Amino acid sequence: MSHDLDDQLFPVRRPPESFWERTGLTHRQRQVLDGSLALLLMLFTVGWIYSAVDAIRRGEAPTVTREIAARGAPFGSGSAPDAAFALDALVQQLVDWEEIRGESGELQVLFQEPGDSIVLPDSVASQVEIEYVPPDGGAAGTPGATEPSQDGVWNLLLRVGNAVRQVPRLNVVTLTPASALTGGRIGEYRVGEWPSGEGAYAPPRGFVQVTPATMDTYVSTHFQLKDFLTKGQEGVWPKYVVLSPRLLDKLELTLQELERRGHPVEDVFVVSGFRTPIYNQTGGDTRGRGALSRHMYGDAADIAIDNDGDGCMDDLTGDGRVDVEDARVIVEAAEQVERDHPQLIGGIGIYAPVRGSHCGMVHIDTRGTRARW
């Protein structure tokens, strides 16, 4: 084939003589454009989220009532996106999240005494259903009921038409009333009797019922119901626990302080949580147990940092051994929590390792007055 024919079939493209003759983008220009668009999208997203959160905090966000009224009711299958939007907004306004999450922001439980209820606005109460569903996925409670049908642990669902939302990171606990305690027992579970007292030493007004299906329920980021069960009576179910949200908050704040001090917390071993009066008097080695132990009132726990899961305190000081100095690391963090949050003041105690018993632990409680040992 001749060169003339080559030129006709495959003409040689001359390079552009000026910027205005160029087409498309170079590889570098495409990178710059892609980066700029990504940055613009990120700034827009951050700005939108900030504006929404700020509006909600200032009480200027559209309420669920106005959204439902504006979008029409009742919600049918054709309006699922509107219903989902309304449910998302309702979840944010359903409860006082700052109070429930605590100072730590880590709590995941709402305790309700018998008869307590979650109140929905009158304007949406006829359209929004509340359902209490057991954590094990069993049958739901009565749709539309504002309180569960029995004592125990529940997940909370909200339903509008065909749209359903589970309230995230929230377990609702309906307490078993103190009147269920008869002859020192609740059912087959032996509890004992509390001495008469007032204020912080008043007998509990209710108990958390714990079953094999609910024992793994998280009450905060690091703690589950089973962590606070009294030792013994292994074959008896349900069991019952007294548990204070203030204790959970102080424990989580202590773990946060440990993290800030360079001690990562992946697992916490609760050596002793709630103790029934009968166990406090007779269970195991009772030396050192006070007759009015805060463990009986649900606001005390003995803990150890146990990231490696061996059931013993970790070497927090990094000196190659586990001793009382490791417990002091936790104590220093708990002391800082009390300085930062004086409303959580209480007892802090150090327990050195005891061969055949435990590998060291720290007692933390929220009795309301300062105590040290």
- The answer to whether position 333 is within a domain reads yes
Tell me, what's the pLDDT at 144? 44
User: What is the torsion angle, in degrees rounded to the nearest 10, for the CA atoms of residue 112, residue 116, residue 121 and residue 125?
Assistant: 100
Identity of the amino acid at 181: L
Distance (Å, rounded) from C-alpha 146 to C-alpha 148? 7
Asked, as a colleague might, if the bond just before 238 is cis with ω within 30 of 0, I would say yes
Distance (Å, rounded) from C-alpha 124 to C-alpha 69? 9
Same domain? 164 vs 199: no
**Torsion angles phi and psi, residue 100, rounded to 5:** -70, -45
Question: What is the per-residue pLDDT across 68-119, written as a single tens digit (0 to 9) for each?
Answer: 444 444 444 445 566 677 788 888 888 899 999 999 999 999 999 877 878 7
Quick one: residue 152, left, alpha or beta (phi over 0 = left, psi -120 to 50 = alpha)? left
What secondary structure letter does DSSP report for 64? Answer: H
- The answer to whether position 36 is within a domain reads yes
- The answer to whether position 14 is within a domain reads no
- The answer to whether position 84 is within a domain reads yes
Tell me, what's the pLDDT at 148? 73
Distance (Å, rounded) from C-alpha 107 to C-alpha 98? 10
- The answer to whether position 81 is within a domain reads yes
- The answer to whether position 9 is within a domain reads no
- The answer to whether position 16 is within a domain reads no
Q: Which residue range is the domain that position 100 belongs to?
A: 64-173
Distance (Å, rounded) from C-alpha 22 to C-alpha 19? 5
* Element housing 368 (H / E): none
Tell me, what's the pLDDT at 121? 75
Please give the tally of structural domains in the chain: 3
Burial 155-166 (b: 16+ CB within 10 A, else e): bbbbbbbebebe
Q: Are 159 and 90 in contact (CB under 8 A)?
A: no
β-pairing, 347-351 vs 361-365, is antiparallel
Same domain? 234 vs 337: yes
Tell me, what's the pLDDT at 57? 54
Domain end position, chosen among 157, 173, 189: 173
Low-confidence ranges of the chain (pLDDT < 50): 1-3, 5-12, 19-20, 59-78, 140, 142-145
Distance of CA 12 to the CA centre of its chain: 69
Same domain? 185 vs 301: yes
Q: Are 293 and 278 in contact (CB under 8 A)?
A: no
